[in-house]
Structure 1
Amino acid sequence: MSNDTYFIEGLRSGDETILEEIYTTFFSKVKTFVIQNKGNATDAEDIFHNALIQLFVRLKKRQLVIKSSFEAYLFTTCKNLWRRELNKKRVTKMKVTELKSEEVENAHALLEQEKWELYIEKFQLLSENCRKVLTLLFNGTSYDEIVKTFSYASKVVARQRVFKCKAKLTKLIKEDDSFSKIKKL
């Protein structure tokens, strides 16, 4: 049994020993991320706990297919939940408060996770060149740097490549059956 399967099955069954091992193995990375992004240790604990609950619910409702490692999947789930929490805090600071039940919040978090999974799945179908170009762009790399990295003739050529790669990714996502389901929600 792979480590990923071990953690997934432990989470699905609620095995306390494996749950403790998940905390011991993966929590520190999440804690570091949350603290570096305007949070504290308590926030990190809440996010980690909510992510595990979310994964547990998904495992109970349907087969969960993880295309990366369990650690990457859990960390991405935590990052998405923390971003939502930061957005919620920002809205609250603007004196715009909206009461939402925990179930609605969890539904939104699950929907975001499904969108992210669809994006990652389709991103992996792109050519290696497109994945590299878009990764650089999404990480804030300038077009000048992209030109140098790929030895393109000019920024115009780099922009055209980015446009074509984005268009291909968008097409792959929109053609997927799950896109229409997610879009309706």
Structure 2
Amino acid sequence: MIENEQYLTSLLNNDSKGIMKIYTAVFPRVRKFLLQNKGTQQDAEDIFQKALIQITVRYRKERFEINTSFEAYLFTACKNLWRRELNTSKNRVTNSDIIELVPAERDTALTILEQKRWELFSEKLDLISGNCKKILTMFFNNSSYADMVKKMGYSSETVARQRVFKCKTKLSKKIKDDQRYNSLKKL
């Protein structure tokens, strides 16, 4: 299907016009699905972005053919990601009424471990570009994508999401490449 190839090429080339066509064609259905299934607008945006990135990465790695419409393929990818997210969150149990008694030594050890993690994170954050550092700081402070567009001068929220993803990936790689990472990650 020629249209499928055009969409995939738009993703590969980071063509904003093509990507906006994808958003216009598919995002409203994804948003509606998530809102009807315990999701929020932010969840819909995040899931949609993750699906686009997964498709792009997979297509870069191995050229594959989509036998249905691209819109149906992307919508299905979003649905699967959301279901996986719901299953993961369902398995998390929270009970604020339970107070765990922690021995002083264990509490101290956890505090030190957390501090070392924070130091590694901060150190690696300082090593990425100023632009990435600024966008990630905004992201970690829960700034909206609309605010990022205004403050950073991006053309759209899609571009802001892509920058956040790329910067998070760079930061994550720097952290994971550090020798200290394996001893500090959660067991």
Please give the TM-score of this superposition, normalised by the length of structure 1: 0.49
Please give the TM-score of this superposition, normalised by the length of structure 2: 0.48
